[in-house]
Amino acid sequence: MRHLLLAAALLAAVPASAAVTFAGKIEVAGDATDLSKLGVGPNLNRLSFGSDMVYDPSRRVFYGISDRGPGGGTIDWAPRIETFKVDTAANGAISNFRVVDTTEFRQANGQVFSGLNPSRLPGGAGVLGAALDSEGIVRLPNGNFLVADEYGPSVYETNNRGVFIRAFTQPANVVPLANGSPDFANGRPTITSGRQDNRGYEGLTISGDGKTAWAILQDPLVNEGSNNDGRRSQNLRIVQFDVATGQSTGQFAYQLESIADINARTTTDFTATNQGRSIGVSSITWIGGTSFLVIERDNRGEGPDNLLSSNGDVGSKRVYLIDLAGATDVSAISFAGSNSLPGGVTPVSKLLFLDVQAALTAAGEVLPEKLEGLAIGPRLAGGGFALLLATDNDFSVTQNGSNEQFDVCFGGGLAATQVALGAACPNGQALVPSRLYSFAVTGADVALFDASLIGVPEPASWAMLIAGFGLVGAAARRRRATVAA
């Protein structure tokens, strides 16, 4: 009942006159390259930037990150930050994507981190060492970065050139263990507690004053849920940190949408073990006070592997508005043994903020598999701001059972094909692009966001306003509270 009251209170704070309107997209070619000085080739300078991103309103640039690279941890790729710009019109439309800087993540000794699975690096599965699967990024007030790593899971601080400074101390319950020892490479049943394999921290954000950070797991812990199987559970964790000390100061339960509700929108059902494995969180972004935006999605849609073999119809690409106020600190509480939360535990309040799937479908757009990056800004002339979402295109690479990598080509009215890594696509086909989607946030919704996140209008927005272009008209809509069963 308390959760219902909290959700109702949060819903009442969102006026019905608010509007979030699709304003357009940019496609970045799958064979685009960045400004890395490491060499030329798919494994060296192919561009991918949508694993997470953040906007810096003072510099009017976006920082996007790659993940561990082509090949899912089997290629020695250097994870990196891509600093880029786009032009933003008064109505939120975006154009002219360009990379202005590329920064590799480096260890304290100056050597680049590697996207290789820890088992393929010195020290083996029990040592993170040089392994990094970057999935979340924020910029601190002093210009340094925090990056969330999925392998650990870990949170690292780097300087403004991506060089490692320190690691935050992780709470014991999220660290993957096998026979009581850390194992950062294997999955169930080898690991018996901690984060699921490839389901570690998927998002990271900080408060406006830079004092508090929050990292969110993609899915429930491997040992939580019915049958002590995280794949069956809706309940994942948000971990709170004190930035100054790097210590965890709390954990909160976030409930994924139930597969029963998602299956009501699909013709190809998700199964019980898809709940906490194929449905997950991709991003978390602080918007003010105790409120955040969270991307939640399924594993279906346009992506290299799904193009080669159908993975069913899309059921969920959504942005939720959540609030930690009133949520129970579950740092010392286990969710093992049941898909229901323990008695007395209140999860974070959660509302549907933007149904991305519905908006893109209405606009005739393709639905991507991996919607992973979310950035607030820039401000639009005359009021409101652009909310940008980015895709992770997985470098348009797939691999076979022998860990041999291939490029995936599609289009031209032909079935998707795979070619040797770096080879030309067949005529009429191309690699899977990265995409940026822009949504204009106008009306009373704007008041929900801390002004420090948005900054002043882009010069292009002012120019279009002067030229007589109006803002996107407000579209009334109602939101419903979402309370997971």
Phi and psi (nearest 5°) for 276? -105, 25
Residue 308 in 3-state DSSP? helix
Does some domain include residue 78?
yes
pLDDT of residue 400: 86
What amino acid occupies position 331?
Answer: S
Provide the pLDDT for residue 71: 86
d(CA 216, CA 191): 20
Residue 411 located in a structural domain: no
| The two three-digit tokens of residue 54, written as one number | 């953040």
pLDDT of residue 483: 38
**CA 418, CA 355: separation in Å to the nearest integer?**
32
pLDDT given at position 482: 39
- Assign 143 to helix, strand or coil: coil
- Torsion 167-170-176-181 (CA) sign: positive
Query: C-alpha distances in angstroms, 360 versus 4, 306, 430?
Result: 30, 19, 22
Burial 100-110 (b: 16+ CB within 10 A, else e): eebbbbbbeee
Order the strands of the 94-104 sheet from edge to edge: 52-56, 61-65, 80-88, 94-104
The amino acid sitting at 174 is V
Low-confidence ranges of the chain (pLDDT < 50): 1-18, 461-485
pLDDT at 23: 97
Both structure tokens of 318: 């959504």
Report the pLDDT value the prediction gives residue 465, as an integer from 0 to 100: 42
Residue 408 lies in a domain: no
Joined together, the tokens standing for residue 477 give 């809509």
Within a domain: residue 474? no
Q: Which range marks the domain in which residue 189 is found?
A: 2-391+437-466
By the 8 A CB rule, do 313 and 353 touch?
no
Q: Which helix (H) or strand (E) holds 356?
A: helix 356-362
DSSP bridge partners of 297: 280, 317
Q: Look up residue 196 and give its DSSP letter.
A: P
Residue 164 resides in a domain: yes
Rounded-to-integer distance, Cα 40 and Cα 46, Å: 8
**Considering only CA atoms, which of 178, 375, 399, 425 is closest in space to residue 308?**
399
Q: Residues 6 or more apart from 355 whose CB is under 8 A from it?
A: 317, 318
**Three-state DSSP string of 282-302:** EEEEEEECCEEEEEEEECCCE
- Torsion from C-alpha of 283, 9, 212, 130, nearest 10 degrees: -20
Q: Are 280 and 237 in contact (CB under 8 A)?
A: no
How many residues are there in the chain?
485
Instruction: Kindly report the backbone phi and psi dihedral angles of residue 462, in degrees, each rounded to the nearest multiple of 5, phi listed first.
Output: -60, -40
Using only C-alpha atoms, the chain has a radius of gyration, in whole angstroms, of: 21
Degrees, nearest 5: CA angle 357-410-69: 80
Using CA atoms, how far apart are residues 301 and 16, in angstroms rounded to an integer? 31
- DSSP conformation class of 422: T
- 187 lies in some domain: yes
Predicted TM-score of the model (pTM): 0.91
Q: Is the residue at 419 inside a domain?
A: no
Instruction: Please state the domain count of the chain.
Output: 1
pLDDT given at position 308 = 94
**Residue 456 belongs to some domain of the structure:** yes
Which string of DSSP letters, residue by residue, matches 61-101? EEEEE--S-TTTTSS----EEEEEEEEE-TTS-EEEEEEEE
Tokens read off for 269: 């059902």
Tell me how far CA of residue 223 lies from CA of 1, 22, 97, 376, in angstroms: 28, 39, 43, 35
- The confidence score (pLDDT) of residue 38 equals 95
According to the model, what pLDDT value does residue 288 have? 97
- Identify which of 441, 447, 411 has the alpha carbon closest to the alpha carbon of residue 426: 411
